[in-house]
Structure 1
Amino acid sequence: MKLHDHFKVFLSDQVNLNSTRITQLESSVGAIKTAVRSCGWGVHVMGFGEQGSWAHATIIKPLPDKEFDADLLVFVSPKEGWSARDYINKLANGLEAMGAYQGKIRRYSHCVTVEYAGERRIDIAPCVRDRTYEGQYEVCNRTTDSFELSAPIAYTDWVKSKNGIAGGNDLKKVTRLLKYLRDIKGNFTCPSFLFTTLVGNQIQEYDRESKDFADLTTSLKTLVGRLDDWLQANPYVPHVPNPKLPSENQSAGWTETQYANFRDKINLYRGWIDDAFNEPDRQESIAKWQRVFGAKFGESEARQSARVSAPIANKGFGASITDLVERLKTYGAAALMADLSRLPKLPYVQRPKWRPASSQVTVKLSATLHSGENSPEIRKTVSLEPLQPGYWLKFTPLSGVGLPFTSEYTVHWRVTNTDEAAYNAKQLRGDYYAGNRGASRIEELRFRGIHFVEAFVVRNSDNRLVGKSEPFYVVIQ
C-alpha cells in the first residue's frame, strides 16, 4: 500500500531537518557571511551560494548524537600570486583571529569548517571566479595545491530541473528518504552528491505527467527500481560524470568492494520496497515499510495493534472473558486458533531481513522452565501452556532430527510481546536478538498476555535464511 498518511508524518517527524535546526543554520550562516567579508583575508568577495544537500533541499535530520552539516560557497575574484591553498589557509587564519570562531575552525582539503560543539558544522569553500576565462568556477584543493573546475550553480539547476519533471517535489523527498535509509542501515557507502546524481539520472524529460511519478510512494518505487536495473547492468564501478561537468567522475572514490555492496543492498531494498508497495493488507504493509525504514515508520498505528484483547476477547464468549489469556484458560487453545495466526503479522513485528536460501530446513524449539535466570531446569514446557510470571524460559533451537545447529549457522531470535501490560510498559519488542546462552536464549516471564518466540537460522557463508521455527506461544497469567 502507498500509505500516504504515514509517509507524510514520517518525513516531517523523522527525516526532514526540523525547523529549530534550520533556524540555527540560517543564523550561523548569516554571521559567517559577515565574518568572511570582514575578516581581512585579502580577497574580493563577490558573493555566496548554498551547495550540496542544503542547496538541493535534500538535507536531512542527523542520527541521534550526530551533527548535521551544510556547505557554503564563497565566490571570490582571483588574487594575483596566490596558489590554491592560499585561499583556504588565509580564510582560516582570518576567521581564527576573530573571537567568535576561536577553537571552532578546522581546515580540510577543499574547505574551512566551522564546528558548533557537535551540533552542526558549516563547510566554507572558496570558489574562484574567472581565473583563466570568463564564466569559470574553480574550487581550491589545499592538499594538492591545485585549482579544480566546478559547476555548482549549474548542478543545482540540474537537480531542480529533474525535480520539476517528477513534480510535487518528489525527487527531493525520495532523495531524503534514501539518504535516511543509508544512514539508519549503515551498511553501504554512497556520498550524498553521488546518490543525488544516480537518482536524478533515472528521470527523463518524457517522465513529465507520467503515472510512474503520480505520487511520492510511486516515485520512490519507480526511482529505486530504475536505479537497481541500472546497477545490475553495471557489474563493476561505472563512470558517473557530473551531468554539468563531464570531466568530473563522481564515482571515482568508490572501490570495487564498496560498489558491489551498494549494488547488492539497493537490489535487496528494491525488493522490500516493491513488496511493501504491493501489499494489500494495511497492517502487513506497515510492517513491510518498517523493514525498509525502521520502526519509526507508522509507529503509533503499529503499537496500537498490539492491544489484541480489547476488540476480540469477548466475541461470543460472554462478558466474563476479559482477555485472550482468560479465553485460553476457559475454552482451550481451539478457541484461539484464528487469533493466534494474526499475532506474527502484527505490524510492529520486524519482518525477516535475510534473503531466503533456495532450500529450507526444519527448525524446532525446545523450552525449559527455570526459577531464575541462572537456575537449573525445573521441567520442560510446551507452547500455549499457561505460566506464572516471575519464572524464566530457556529456548533451544533444534534441527528436524533433534540435533543442535553447527557453527556454520547463526540463530537469531525474534521475541514479541503483545497486549495491554506490555503495551503500557512500552515493552512490545518484536525485534531480533542474539542467543544469550550460546545459540539458546533465556527470557523472563513478565507481562500478562500471549507472547511468542521464534528462531531464525542463517547460514554464515552467504547470510541466507535457511529455516525458521513455528512461533512458540508463551502464555503469562
Structure 2
Amino acid sequence: MKLVDELKKFMNETVNLNQTRIVLLESRVETMKTYLSGSDWGPSISMFLEQGSWAHDTIIRPVDGGEFDADLLVKVRPVDGWSAAQYVKELGRVFRESSRYKHKVQVYDFCVTITYADECKIDIAPLVMNREEQGKLEVCDKREDVFRESRPVEYTDWIRNKNRYSGNNSFRKATRLIKYIRDIKKRFSCQSVLLTTLIGHQIEWWDKDTGAFSDTPTALQTVMARLDDWLQERPEKPEVPNPALNTENFAELWNDTQYANFRNFVHKYRGWIDEAMAAVTREDSIAKWRRVFGDEFAKAELARKSEAMEVATARTFLRAGAAHLDGLVKIVVDYGISVIPAAFRNIPHQQQPRWIPAERIFSNVVISARYGRARSGVRLHPVQNGEALPPRGGLWFDVRIEKVASVPAADCYVRWRITNTGGVAIALKKGRGGFYSPTEGIRRWEPLEFRGVHMAEAFVVRRSDDRLVGISQPFHVVIQ
C-alpha cells in the first residue's frame, strides 16, 4: 500500500530540512559572502555558487544529533604565483582572523569548514577560473598541492534534468528518502555525491510522464528496484563516472568492502519497500514502512504490529544478557543500533574508570572511525557508528570535542575503553573491557577480528590533577 499522504507528512515533518533552518543557513551564507568579499584573502572574487545537496535540493534534516552540510564555491580569478594549497590555506587564515569565525574554523584538503553549534556546517571551497585554459574551472587540493578540474554547473544541470524527467519533483524526493534511510539505519556508507549520482543514473528521458514516477512511494520503489538490479549485475565495485567530468570516478569514495555492504543493503531495503507496497491492509503497510523508515514514520498511528513485536523481542533478548550470542549481530544488522538498550553499555567484564570525576564531565566528546586494510595503510574510509563490517582490516578511532576542536594534548590525555562481545571473543578470552593508551597521538588502532557487537569509548583526563573531564558515547563496531 502506497500511503501517499502518510509519506508526504513524514517527509514534511521528519525528512525535509525545515524552513527555519533554511532561512538561517541562507542568512549565514550571505554574512559569510560579505565578510570574504571585504577581506584581504587575495584572489579577486567573480561570484559564489551553491553546490552539493543544497544546490540540488536534496538536503535533509540531520538525524540523531547529526549535522547537515551546505557547500559553497567561491569562483575566483587566478593569482600569479599561487599554488593550489595557497588558496585553501589563505582562505583558512582569513576566517581564523575573524572574531566571528575563529572558533568555528577547520581547514581541510579542498575547503574551509565553518561549524555552528546547531547542527550546521558550511564548507566553502575556492574554485579557480581560467588559470591555464579559458573556461576551465579547478578546485584546489591542499594535500597534494595540485589543481583538479571541476564542472559543478554542468553536474547541477544534470541533476535538474533528471528531476525534470521524473516529474513531480520525484527524483529529489526519492533521493531525500534514500539519504534518510542511510542516515537513520547506519547500515551502509555512501557519500551524498556518489549516492545522488547512482540514483540519477536510474532515470532517463523516456521516463517522463510514465507511471514509474507517478507518486513519491512509486518513485522510491522504482529507483530502488533499478538501483538494486544494476548493483546485482556488478558483484565487483564498478566505476561511477562523474556525469559532467568522465575523468572523475566517484566510486573511489568506496573501498571494496563498503561497496559490497552497500550492494547487500540496497537489495535488502528494496525487498522491504516491495513488501510495504504490496501490503493489503493499512495496519500491515504502516508496520512494513516503519521497518524501512523507523519509528518516526506514521508515529501518530497506534499500529505497530509486525515490527514492534520483533523489536520488543529483540530488546528482551538483549536485556536477558545475550551480549555474547551470535544472534545479537543479526538483530543489530537488521534493526540498527537504536535497538540496543542502555543496559548493554554496562557489560560485566568492563573495567570501571579509575579516575576521580572532575566537577563537570563533558559529554560533547565525539568518536569518529576510519577503516583501513592495514594499520599503516594510506587509503582510509570513514565508517558510521554501528555500520556492519567484515572480520578483516581495522579501524583508526579518533576523538574530537563537538566534532570540531581537537582534544588539547597539552592539558589532557585520552584513554580508550575497548569492549568485545561475541562468543568467539569470549571463548578465546579476548572479550576485553579494559582501558588502553592511544596507538598514535590520541588515535587508537583496533583490528577487526571477531564476530560481535563491540564498543569503543574515549575518556578524556585532565593532566594537572588526573581528573576525568570528558566521556564519549560508545562507538559500536558490528563485525559480521
Asked whether the two chains share a fold, i.e. TM above 0.5, the reply is yes
Instruction: Tell me how large the CA RMSD over aligned residues is.
Output: 3.1
Q: Show CA shifts across 1:308-340 (max 9, x none).
A: xxxxxxxxxxxxxxxxxxxxxxxxxxxxxxxxx
| Corresponding residue for residue 156 of structure 1 | 156
SS at match of 1:168: coil
Three-state SS of the structure 2 residue aligned to 1:81 is coil
Letter in 2 for 1:179: K
Match of 2:179 in 1: 179
TM-score normalised by the chain length of structure 2: 0.66
Q: Which has the larger radius of gyration?
A: 1
Give the deviation of 1:94 after TM superposition.
1.7
Checking the alignment, whether the CA contact within 8 Å between 1:163 and 1:171 is kept in structure 2 is yes
Secondary structure of the 2:178 match is helix
1:249 correspondence with 2:249: yes
Tell me the percent identity. 45
**1:77 counterpart = 2:114:** no
In the alignment, the residues of structure 2 paired with residue 249 and residue 147 of structure 1 have an alpha-carbon distance, to the nearest angstrom, of 17
In structure 1, runs of 5+ residues without a counterpart are 307-343, 355-364, 366-393, 398-405, 414-430, 438-458, 464-477
* Partner residue in 2 for 1:128: 128
Normalised to the residue count of structure 1, the TM-score between the two structures is 0.66
SS of corresponding position for 1:124: strand
Name the amino acid aligned to 1:123. D
Secondary structure, in 3 states, of the residue corresponding to 1:63? coil
Indicate conservation of the 8 Å contact 1:57/1:172, yes or no: yes
* Residue in 2 that maps onto 1:10: 10
Deviation at 1:64, TM superposition (A): 3.2
How does 1:287-302 map onto structure 2 within 5 Å?
A: 287-301=287-301
Q: Distance in 1 between matches of 2:342 and 2:47?
A: 59
> Aligned AA for 1:105?
V
Residue 412 of structure 1 and its aligned partner are, at CA, apart by 9.1
1:165 aligns with 2:165: yes
Change (3 A) 1:350 1:33: farther
**Cα distance between partner residues in 1 of 2:121 and 2:325:** 45
Structure 1 partner of 2:59: 59
Report the more deviating stretch, 64-73 or 76-85: 64-73
CA distance in 2, matches of 1:154, 1:184: 31
Partners of 2:45 and 2:76 within 8 A in 1: yes
Q: Deviations over 1:234-280 (max 9, x none)?
A: 00110000001000000112111110000000000000000001111
* Equivalent in the alignment of 2:430: none
Gaps of 5+ in 2: 332-337, 345-422, 425-449, 453-480
CA contact (8 A) 2:326 2:451 kept: no
For each residue in 1:97-122, what CA deviation from the matched residue of structure 2 results, as whole angstroms up to 9, or x when unmatched?
Answer: 22221222110000011121253111
- How far apart are residue 166 of structure 1 and its match? 0.2
Q: Which residue of 2 aligns with 1:113?
A: 113
Residue deviations 1:119-140 (CA, integer Å, cap 9, x gap)? 3111000000111112111000
Which residue of structure 1 aligns with residue 230 of structure 2? 230
> 1:47 and 1:273, CA in 2 relative to 1: closer, same or farther beyond 3 A?
same
Alpha-carbon displacement from aligned partner over 1:205-255 (angstroms, at most 9, x marks no partner): 111111111111111000000000000000011000000100000011211
5 Å-filtered alignment, 1:315-394, equals 344-345=305-306, 348-350=308-310
Partners of 1:409 and 1:122 lie apart in 2 by 41
**Partner-residue secondary structure (3-state), 2:246:** strand
CA distance, structure 2, for counterparts of residue 176 and residue 252 of structure 1: 23
Mapped to 1, the partners of 2:16 and 2:330 lie a distance apart of: 33
Matches within 5 A, 1:361-440: 409-410=327-328
* Aligned-partner Cα distance in 1 for 2:28–2:320: 55
Mark the CA change 1:105 to 1:134 in structure 2 (over 3 Å): closer, same or farther: same
| Equivalent-residue separation in structure 2 for 1:55 and 1:225 (angstroms) | 26
Q: Which residue matches 1:45?
A: 45
* DSSP 3-state at the match of 2:295: coil
- Please name the residue that 2:96 is paired with: 96
Residues 26-79 of structure 1: per-residue CA shift (max 9 Å, x gap): 110000000111111111100000000000000010113222210000000011
- Letter of the aligned partner of 1:145 in structure 2? D
- Tell me, what secondary structure is at the counterpart of 1:147? strand
Q: Following TM superposition, by how much is the alpha carbon of 1:92 offset from its aligned partner in structure 2, in angstroms?
A: 1.5
Q: What does residue 370 of structure 1 align with?
A: none
What is the aligned partner in structure 2 of residue 269 from structure 1?
A: 269
